[in-house]
Amino acid sequence: MWASRGCGSPVFWACRKTCTQFVVRCLPNRSVPAPIDIREIAKRARVSTATVSRAINRVPTVDPQLAKRVWKVVDELGYFPNTQARALVSGKSRIFGLIVSEITNPFFPEIVQTFEDLAVENNYEILLTSTVHDPRRMESSVRRMIERRVDGVAILTFGMEESLLDHPHFRKVPLVFVDVGPNAPGVSNIRINYESGIRQAVQHLAALRHVRIAFVAGPTVLRSALARRAAFKQSMTEIGLDPDLVIEGDHTMEGGMRALVELVNLRNPPTAVMCSNDMTAIGVMREAYDCGLTIPRDLSVVGFDDIRLAQFMIPPLTTVQMSQTELAKIAFHALLGETTRKIHVPGKTDYPLITSLVLRRSTALAPAQNGRLKPAGTSV
């Protein structure tokens, strides 16, 4: 009677005690396979469990032939190591944390992709979080990193980094910062030379006879944005041009659009605009179209970052390149180097990253109309 009703029958749930016996009778020939562990792998590969452990953890001193036998059995059995248990035993999770500002910002995907590619090549995983410039999200990111016992963290947020140093756990793992790394053991600091590329951009515009050059700055809460503004003003001063035509922006396309509206309404508007990032420059180009301005005939535009989208703009955007691929490579290899370092240095380690101008087609000779920006429909 029981067998005909099946395990979904209401009677099954009505009588738990009987049903326990019934389940056993229903599945007389099924057996739960024993979990696969390194002892089973060692037995089949005819090696010791210690050799299996070292092979799986890719210890370089393992005999290549033995490692090959181990991995052959691992593949045959479909074995996946318990990474949490391995971390408890070895003290290493083989996980690197990566914290960025906004995953939707076109500046970051190439960084994430390069960082992950390097992690896979080196048998690491990455734990990725984004802060969206929110301190509460930063705290959540920190908590997740701590819970997963990461081996190191690359903080590529270009702001808000200092809060990480308040967490005792993070003082014990390698950290990578951009520009703001404190002078402490285990800290790597990627020092970006903003002056190099921005000086090239300013001199390029000056060579095209631009005298009124505006700068659309980034958020004042970001040290990187302040550094770019300072580099622009210094470069302008060096060649005797007015460095004070600076408009506050927010590193968004919308901010770039608002900035250009403000600039074209000036009594003496600029003939060239340099922007603190490419997203701002794209916004400037979009608003220029709405204003009836032709780039670069009426207005020259220069960005900063050289995101992939820049080369596909119409016209292609001249910009200062801060290589996202190189940034990710430096960050990853700095973490990897710190985790394998035998003797720790007493202070931080600096890694330079040079910026440079990439010439495309968004700049040209300054307009001849007394240096004035003339939107369509404006009388002379």
pLDDT digits (tens, 9 = 90+) for 145-163: 877 888 999 989 876 566 6
The predicted pLDDT at position 11 comes to: 42
Residue 113 near residue 121, CB atoms below 8 Å: no
Flag whether pLDDT at 71 surpasses 50.
Answer: yes
Mean pLDDT for the chain overall:
83
The predicted pLDDT at position 221 comes to: 84
Q: What is the pLDDT of residues 307-362, one digit of tens each?
A: 999 999 999 999 999 999 999 999 999 999 988 877 777 778 899 999 999 999 99
Lowest mean pLDDT among 185-189, 210-214, 355-359: 185-189
Angstrom distance (rounded) from CA 57 to CA 86: 9
Given pLDDT bands bounded at 50, 70 and 90, which one contains residue 86?
Answer: low
The predicted pLDDT at position 190 comes to: 94
The predicted pLDDT at position 160 comes to: 58
In this prediction, residues 111-118 reach a mean pLDDT of 96
Angstrom distance (rounded) from CA 186 to CA 118: 20
Beta bridge partners of 155: 99
The predicted pLDDT at position 57 comes to: 73
The predicted pLDDT at position 202 comes to: 98
- Residue 314 backbone phi and psi in degrees, to 5: -120, 110
Given pLDDT bands bounded at 50, 70 and 90, which one contains residue 25?
Answer: very low
Q: What is the pLDDT of residues 121-135, one digit of tens each?
A: 998 999 999 888 787
Given pLDDT bands bounded at 50, 70 and 90, which one contains residue 238?
Answer: very high
Cα-Cα-Cα-Cα torsion 199, 204, 205, 211, nearest 10 degrees, comes to 70
Share of the chain above pLDDT 90, in %: 50
Flag whether pLDDT at 20 surpasses 70.
Answer: no
Q: What is the maximum alpha-carbon separation in the chain?
A: 101
Angstrom distance (rounded) from CA 353 to CA 178: 10
Name the token pair of 158. 């270009």
Flag whether pLDDT at 56 surpasses 60.
Answer: yes
Flag whether pLDDT at 35 surpasses 70.
Answer: no
Q: What is the pLDDT of residues 249-294, one digit of tens each?
A: 999 999 999 999 999 999 999 999 999 999 999 999 999 999 999 9
Angstrom distance (rounded) from CA 280 to CA 302: 10
Given pLDDT bands bounded at 50, 70 and 90, which one contains residue 187?
Answer: confident
Going by DSSP bridges, is the β-strand pair 272-275/246-247 parallel, antiparallel, or unpaired?
A: unpaired
Beta bridge partners of 352: 191
Residue 341 Cα distances to 38, 113, 321, 324, 330, angstroms:
29, 26, 32, 26, 16
